[in-house]
């Protein structure tokens, strides 16, 4: 008879699809999931690499721009670009992990746990960087659409955290997971390697309870400030900003930025919330969930496929923005003259708001 503690991990009646998909019932289902996941991840890595080449290498690095701006000790990440790179690394790591599990390549559970862990922490870093980046890009004032563009009454102030607060949040969210989670996962794997299943179960539970808490806390920040940024872009896209860049009206650029922002926010929010739910369910009721095959399929499917399904639309949205981008037209003195009379009629406060808003749109736009 299998000891109770060992039965929590090595029961042949069900697969612990997070790391064991052989020697158990319904193994063919989980192998099918892993094969599909591996293929999807590497296809998205190819797509993501092209988007990174166009959006990061050509638009940033060739122009001597950086992913992170440092000023007076404040770090300002370029949210979209950092997310693209880190999410692509995550997909590569996840695809590699499932490929190794399919080949039964892990001989040490501690090593397997580390390999399982780091891609998720890379994605968390991507989500944190995107969130802090869009907060930094949010203008402090915007047109609320309640009057004409020339009236100061149309300006609305936005309440944002101070730069030092944002700096603290950036380092806090990025430091806490790597300082805690890898150790929990490695000790969990070490417990299984040494047949100390009580130790493994304790640290497995602690690991995913903490993961769930981190996901919930970041999801709240993403939703609050992300929706605020969407409302600002929406208000100004409706109000209309007449200036143009590269032959495209600023209103069009704002609409494109809003589409990319909404798609990315939805993707990140779904990843964080859905993963937070399955993590806490797995941590507390792992044996119950895996013992009921239909429930195990639901939880396992979300766990395995949530990131490819949610990252793919983000890559597509950014990629379409790159494809639809127009080259900069030749400068025209007539156009400059016509715009000069318009700009003179605007007061300086309104003009600064437009410039800040345009900068926000360009920071998000592809």
Write down the pLDDT at residue 152.
44
Tell me how far apart the alpha carbons of residues 31 and 37 are, in angstroms, rounded to a whole number.
Answer: 10
Residue linked to tokens 């429930």: 295
Write down the pLDDT at residue 140.
66
The answer to whether the predicted template modeling score (pTM) of the entire model surpasses 0.75 is yes
Tell me how far apart the alpha carbons of residues 184 and 173 are, in angstroms, rounded to a whole number.
Answer: 18
Which regions of 10-108 does DSSP assign to beta strands (E)?
Answer: 68-71, 74-77
Write down the pLDDT at residue 156.
63
Write down the pLDDT at residue 5.
57
List, for residues 30-57, the tens digit of each pLDDT value.
999 999 999 999 999 999 999 999 999 9
- Whether the predicted pLDDT of 252 surpasses 90: no
Topology, domain 4-324+344-364: Rhopdopsin 7-helix transmembrane proteins (1.20.1070)
List, for residues 260-309, the tens digit of each pLDDT value.
888 888 999 999 999 999 999 999 998 889 889 999 999 999 999 999 99
Tell me which of 331 and 104 has the higher pLDDT: 104
Domain residue spans of the chain = 4-324+344-364
DSSP 221-238: HHHHHHHHHHHHHHHHHH
Tell me how far apart the alpha carbons of residues 275 and 269 are, in angstroms, rounded to a whole number.
Answer: 10
Write down the pLDDT at residue 228.
79
The three-class DSSP label of residue 161 is coil
Closest CA to 92 of 20, 40, 127: 40
């Amino acid at each position: 008879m299998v000891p109770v503690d060992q039965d929590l991990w090595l029961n042949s009646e069900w697969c612990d699809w997070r790391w064991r998909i052989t020697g158990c019932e319904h193994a063919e289902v989980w192998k099918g999931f892993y094969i599909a996941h591996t293929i999807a991840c590497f296809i998205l890595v190819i797509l993501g690499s092209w988007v990174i080449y166009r959006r990061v290498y050509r638009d940033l690095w060739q122009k001597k721009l950086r992913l992170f701006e440092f000023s007076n000790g404040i770090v300002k990440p370029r949210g979209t670009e950092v997310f693209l790179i880190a999410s692509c690394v995550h997909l590569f790591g996840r695809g590699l992990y499932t490929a190794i599990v399919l080949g039964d390549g892990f001989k040490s559970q501690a090593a397997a746990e580390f390999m399982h862990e780091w891609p998720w922490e890379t994605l968390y870093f991507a989500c944190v960087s995107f969130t802090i980046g869009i907060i930094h890009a949010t203008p402090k004032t915007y047109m609320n659409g309640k009057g004409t563009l020339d009236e100061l009454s149309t300006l609305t102030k936005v309440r944002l955290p101070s730069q030092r607060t944002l700096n603290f949040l950036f380092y806090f969210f990025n430091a806490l997971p790597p300082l805690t989670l890898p150790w929990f996962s490695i000790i969990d794997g070490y417990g299984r390697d040494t047949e100390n299943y009580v130790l493994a179960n304790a640290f497995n539970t602690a690991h995913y309870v903490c993961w769930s808490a981190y996901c919930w806390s970041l999801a709240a920040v993403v939703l609050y400030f992300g929706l605020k940024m969407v409302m600002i872009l929406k208000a100004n896209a409706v109000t209309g900003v007449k200036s143009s860049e590269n032959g495209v009206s600023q209103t069009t650029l704002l609409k494109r930025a809003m589409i990319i922002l909404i798609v990315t926010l939805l993707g990140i929010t779904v990843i964080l919330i859905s993963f937070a739910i399955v993590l806490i369910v797995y941590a507390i009721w792992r044996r119950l969930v895996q013992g009921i095959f239909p429930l195990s399929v639901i939880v396992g499917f979300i766990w395995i496929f949530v990131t490819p399904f949610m990252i793919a639309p983000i890559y597509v949205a950014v990629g379409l923005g790159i494809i639809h981008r127009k080259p900069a037209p030749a400068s025209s003195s007539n156009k400059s003259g016509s715009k000069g009379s318009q700009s003179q009629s605007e007061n300086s406060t309104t003009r600064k708001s437009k410039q800040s808003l345009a900068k926000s749109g360009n920071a998000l736009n592809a």
